[in-house]
Structure 1
Amino acid sequence: MYVSHLSLLDFRSYEAVDVELEPGPNAFVGRNGRGKTNLVEAIGYVATLGSHRVANDTPLIRAGAQRAVVRTRVVRSERASTVELEITAGKANRARINRGQLGRARDVLGILRTVLFAPEDLALVKGDPDGRRRFLDQLVVQLLPRAAGVLSDYERVVRQRSALLKSLRGHRAAGREPDLSALEVWDARAAQLGAQVLAWRTALVRALQPAVAAAYEQVSDADGQAHVGYRSRVVPDGGTPDVSGPAPVEDLEKAMLAAIQEQRPAEIERGQSLVGPHRDDLTLDLGGLPAKGYASHGESWSFALALRLASFRLLGGAAEPAAPDAVFWDPDHGSDADPVLILDDVFAELDVRRRERLAELVAQARQVLVTAAVPQDVPAQLLGARFEVGEGTVRRA
């Protein structure tokens, strides 16, 4: 698949811009602060309904505007689909597909798939667990778009359950014994939704592991050092669940409900939901040691690149797993199932060897979008269509 056209209205720094893109490499070149990243951020947003730079949508709307519009034309198997997203501050975003009626934004998920490499990726290794959870969930949604609704519902349940826990803490602090009947209802709902999220995440980790190990070896020359796992408090001993085989959702639901009940006194005391996928972590080990805290800067970059390369292979179907995880995979595979690769100012961050290896590994992708401050930062393997980016303008060079 590839994006053949991008149109922005009041998105970030752009009042209005239209860009015709090509299959193969496309490079956006311009000085820092001119809006290169805004262009690829918009394309990534169509695929994931999220930004790799900010946690909410408000900064995506140009200062002084009420809404932003992102429109793309996505070509897959020679069939083109037009996707339009309307981002409005303080309101639910809406989407239009092929000039149909405006509907829910998440209806567009699955039409475009992207894998984005950015300097922020280093936080996947060195940062907090929430970034790694977001990495897993965005990948799950691209593989299985219907998961977006479950993830959204789970987040809502956690918020409402936490609000109830704070209220119960207040009752207890005032010397009144709290009524737990309402909490039990939310416990059951949290366990039901959380178990499904756990099942998807652990299935994804099983599929990622061999792909990450292979990709790390390719970018770093280090054989078999990288390992990914999944740590969850739902497991009774608080350790890492066995991700070598799928766990039935029903078993995970029972385990999560038991863990919630065990932690109930602590949850009421702290006024927080302490059990569930919102507290879990993707573990990254290098040579048997946690990458965070032990890996060098170069090793951390190699691990971050390996996570993105593994994502590319899974999204394109090159690392299709065994039958138990087949629910993740689009049956319409083939060369045009490859996601669009976005390399946002990555090459300036890498040493020469890693730049060359990454360029070699991605050069054959159906479409690669590169941003760079100067033309020299674009590797020779990725020379193709070039665009000069100025203040609010994009011009084919």
Structure 2
Amino acid sequence: MILTGLTLRDFRTYHAAEVRLGPGLTVITGRNGAGKTNLLEAIYFACTARSCRTSNEREVVRFGAELTRLELTSEDALGRHEVTVGFKPGEAKRLKADGAAVDNLVGTGARPLVSVFLPDRLELVLGAPALRRAHLDQVVAALWPSRAGTRRSYSAALAQRNALLSSIRAGRASRASLPAWDAELARHGVALMADRAATVDRLRPRYAQHAQGLGLEGEVELRYRPRSTAATAEALAAELAERVDSDLERGFTGHGPHRDDLTFRREGRELRSYGSRGQQRLGLLALLLAEREELATEHGAAPLILLDDVMSELDATRRGRLVDLLRREGQAVITTTELEHVPGGKEPDVTWIEIVDGDVSPRRLASLGVVAQGAPTPGLGQDAA
């Protein structure tokens, strides 16, 4: 599926904009603060109905406006599709896919799968294990949509077991009910661990290949690190039962897949602790490219990938390698301050969108057959690209 266009209103600094993307590589250029990152975020928001930059989504509505609205158009072998996302702070999002109201966009065939690289996404490498677990579970759901419920079922069972532990501590319940919740938690937990392990096994060789292709030297490895060694639900339930006393003491479940981690390693050491910022950046890029390739193998088409300011910390050789990978298949959008930072950026098959003083300029797009226009409200602060 190819994303062909995006119309947005009152999103971040943009009052209104209409953009048409190319089927391959699209490069968005403009000075720092021009609004490039805002445009990239709008694409992601339209594809997923959530922000890739903030948990406080009130921030995406333009200052002074009541709501934001985005319309995304895409095409596949079945024809043209349309997704509409309307968001007013304090209210539920209003979502439509091909004209029909939907509760969420997960599994919706009207929009492309999407992944995103932002400079602050290095937290996926540097941050807490919870970030990596959540990301891994998103990849599981993208590979096998029918398995997306496993994580939710495990989380629900974990919440119930923790509530029971709290009641037992307070003297409002007995330990007699714990074995049943141990069994329920273990049943979903073993399935969750199996999905995570299978996903990392599939990603591992591609991750190593892309890391080396981008110039991350040395032996690199992506490794799933589960907290439990159990291979069956019965074995995991037994591990939980052995730790009941310590769980009661702390008041929550301290063992299980909710304590798993995903590690990026180079020469046997974690990039999180021993890698340079450049190596960590390459490790994250390699992961996103590996996921994109694996999803393309599973679903027959590569997901859309959004890359913000990725060229600024890469040398010329690595820039060339990255662009070669992106142009090989699928659709990609890159933001940069200078078109010259993207090798081959002036080739006829590359779409170029320039943002000048906050306007999505159509002037340099006419020869490419691309129409884009927009005007954020002047005088408002722009986000750094």
Which TM-score tier does this pair reach, normalised by the shorter chain? 0.7 to 0.9
Partner Cα distance (2:73, 2:262) in 1 = 34
Judged with a 3 Å threshold, the aligned counterparts in structure 2 of structure 1 residues 209 and 391 are, in CA distance, closer, same or farther, namely: same
Q: Report the AA paired with residue 360 of structure 2.
A: V
Counterpart residue number, 1:261: 241
**What TM-score do you get using the length of structure 2 for normalisation?**
0.82
Counterpart residue number, 2:257: 277
Judged with a 3 Å threshold, the aligned counterparts in structure 2 of structure 1 residues 95 and 205 are, in CA distance, closer, same or farther, namely: same
Counterpart residue number, 2:206: 211
Moved more, 17-26 or 49-58: 49-58
**What TM-score do you get using the length of structure 1 for normalisation?**
0.80
Extract unaligned runs of 5+ from structure 2. Answer: 365-385
> How far does residue 202 in structure 1 lie from its aligned partner after superposition?
0.8
Residue correspondence of structure 1 range 37-116 to structure 2 within 5 A: 37-55=37-55, 57-77=57-77, 79-108=79-108, 111-116=111-116
Please tell me whether residue 302 in structure 1 is matched to residue 282 in structure 2.
yes
Moved more, 110-119 or 154-163: 154-163
Q: Report the AA paired with residue 388 of structure 1.
A: E
Contact 1:94 1:105 in 2 (8 A): no
Please tell me whether residue 362 in structure 1 is matched to residue 287 in structure 2.
no
> How far does residue 98 in structure 1 lie from its aligned partner after superposition?
0.8
Aligned identity (percent) is 34
Partner Cα distance (1:178, 1:212) in 2 = 48
Partner Cα distance (1:387, 1:99) in 2 = 29
Aligned-residue CA RMSD (Å):
2.8
SS of the equivalent of 1:108 reads coil
Residue correspondence of structure 1 range 307-318 to structure 2 within 5 A: 307-317=287-297
Partner Cα distance (2:91, 2:155) in 1 = 18
Q: Report the AA paired with residue 278 of structure 2.
A: G
> How far does residue 305 in structure 1 lie from its aligned partner after superposition?
1.7
Q: Report the AA paired with residue 310 of structure 2.
A: V
Judged with a 3 Å threshold, the aligned counterparts in structure 2 of structure 1 residues 228 and 261 are, in CA distance, closer, same or farther, namely: same
Counterpart residue number, 1:31: 31
Extract unaligned runs of 5+ from structure 1. Answer: 237-246, 318-328
SS of the equivalent of 2:33 reads coil
Residue by residue over 1:11-33, the C-alpha shift from the partner in whole angstroms, topping out at 9 and shown as x without a partner, is 33333322122212212222333
Residue by residue over 1:219-278, the C-alpha shift from the partner in whole angstroms, topping out at 9 and shown as x without a partner, is 11636x111121112215xxxxxxxxxx6xxx2x33332232222222222222322332
Q: Report the AA paired with residue 271 of structure 1.
A: G
Partner Cα distance (2:324, 2:29) in 1 = 20
Q: Report the AA paired with residue 260 of structure 1.
A: L
> How far does residue 72 in structure 1 lie from its aligned partner after superposition?
1.1
Partner Cα distance (2:68, 2:234) in 1 = 44
Judged with a 3 Å threshold, the aligned counterparts in structure 2 of structure 1 residues 389 and 285 are, in CA distance, closer, same or farther, namely: same
Match of 2:227 among 227, 233, 240: 233
Counterpart residue number, 1:220: 215
Question: In the comparison of the two structures, how many residue pairs are matched?
Answer: 361
Partner Cα distance (1:78, 1:105) in 2 = 18
Q: Report the AA paired with residue 273 of structure 2.
A: G
Residue by residue over 1:206-231, the C-alpha shift from the partner in whole angstroms, topping out at 9 and shown as x without a partner, is 101111111111111636x1111211
Partner Cα distance (1:211, 1:347) in 2 = 22
Moved more, 349-358 or 41-50: 41-50
Contact 1:126 1:292 in 2 (8 A): yes
Partner Cα distance (2:87, 2:158) in 1 = 25
Q: Report the AA paired with residue 145 of structure 1.
A: P
Partner Cα distance (1:207, 1:286) in 2 = 19
> How far does residue 186 in structure 1 lie from its aligned partner after superposition?
4.1
Partner Cα distance (1:377, 1:200) in 2 = 39
SS of the equivalent of 1:349 reads coil
Partner Cα distance (2:344, 2:317) in 1 = 14
> How far does residue 78 in structure 1 lie from its aligned partner after superposition?
6.3
Judged with a 3 Å threshold, the aligned counterparts in structure 2 of structure 1 residues 145 and 177 are, in CA distance, closer, same or farther, namely: closer
Q: Report the AA paired with residue 228 of structure 2.
A: V
Residue correspondence of structure 1 range 321-332 to structure 2 within 5 A: 329-330=298-299
Partner Cα distance (2:214, 2:31) in 1 = 28
Moved more, 123-132 or 108-117: 108-117
Counterpart residue number, 1:243: none
Judged with a 3 Å threshold, the aligned counterparts in structure 2 of structure 1 residues 230 and 18 are, in CA distance, closer, same or farther, namely: same
Judged with a 3 Å threshold, the aligned counterparts in structure 2 of structure 1 residues 110 and 290 are, in CA distance, closer, same or farther, namely: farther
> How far does residue 307 in structure 1 lie from its aligned partner after superposition?
0.8
> How far does residue 357 in structure 1 lie from its aligned partner after superposition?
1.7
Partner Cα distance (1:299, 1:133) in 2 = 21
Please tell me whether residue 199 in structure 1 is matched to residue 163 in structure 2.
no
